[in-house]
Every structure is written in structure tokens, then in C-alpha cells.
Amino acid sequence: QVQLVESGGGLVQAGGSLRLSCEATGRTFSRYAMAWFRQAPGKEREFVAGASWSGVQTYYADSVKGRFTVSRDNAKNTAYLQMNSLKPEDTAVYYCAAQLASETYAYTSQGYPYWGQGTQVTVSS
């Protein structure tokens, strides 16, 4: 199975940018589609963005379209989430998740068997 470790979270002012990374170990990263989810206190975990195994197909929640960009570098076993024009409502713990590429791409957390530990993103107003 694959293990995932996120990094890059932190505190940023509204309008600023952060880049999250998700490093995969254990199995060939290109076997997996991946996604970024986030969970704010008291809220459900929600889909943010994701990419197919090759990175050619990308997917975004409406709330982040035009501000966030997902990408992956399979040679480095790493996925990224570039977050621009951050808003206070983007404050959450961000999680990287993976599913086998042979499965239908999932937009809910139930579709992902592999998860990282999460990284905190805090956007101040």
C-alpha cells in the first residue's frame, strides 16, 4: 500500500499563497489517482481538488476553481496543491488521499483508502 505525508501548511494573510506537498512512499505513485480534501472545525471533510494517475485530468471544487492548482510529479512521487488568493474560509486541515487508478474517480472521502496525517492551513483576515 501507499503511505502519504503532507507538508507546506502554515499561517498566511488573506490574499496570500501557500503550496502544499504530498509525498508518497511504499508503492508506485503512478498507480494511484489522488485528491486533496479539507476539514474545518465542526464541518464535514470536503473535496478540494484532485488529479488522475497521470495528472492529465484534474478536478476542482467550485469554491477553489481559479485559485487553486493541483499537480503531480510521478518521478518524485509527489503531488502538489498551489493555493493562491487565499481566503479566511479556506482555513482547515488539508489532507492528501489516494485511490487505485483503476477505480472510478471519487469526490467523497469514502472513495479513498489511503490518507496522510493532514497539515493545518490558517488564513487570517
23 sits in the region (left: phi over 0; alpha: psi -120 to 50; else beta) called beta
Where do the DSSP E strands lie in 67-116?
Answer: 68-73, 78-83, 92-100, 114-115
Residue 118 and residue 121: Cα distance in Å, rounded? 10
pLDDT, one tens digit per residue, over 54-67 is 999 999 999 999 99
The answer to whether 12 and 122 have CB atoms below 8 angstroms apart is yes
Tell me whether strands 114-115 and 58-60 are parallel, antiparallel or unpaired.
Answer: unpaired
Q: If you average pLDDT over every residue of the chain, what do you get?
A: 96
Q: What is the pLDDT of residue 101?
A: 87
pLDDT, tens digit, for every residue of 10-39? 999 999 999 999 999 988 899 999 999 999
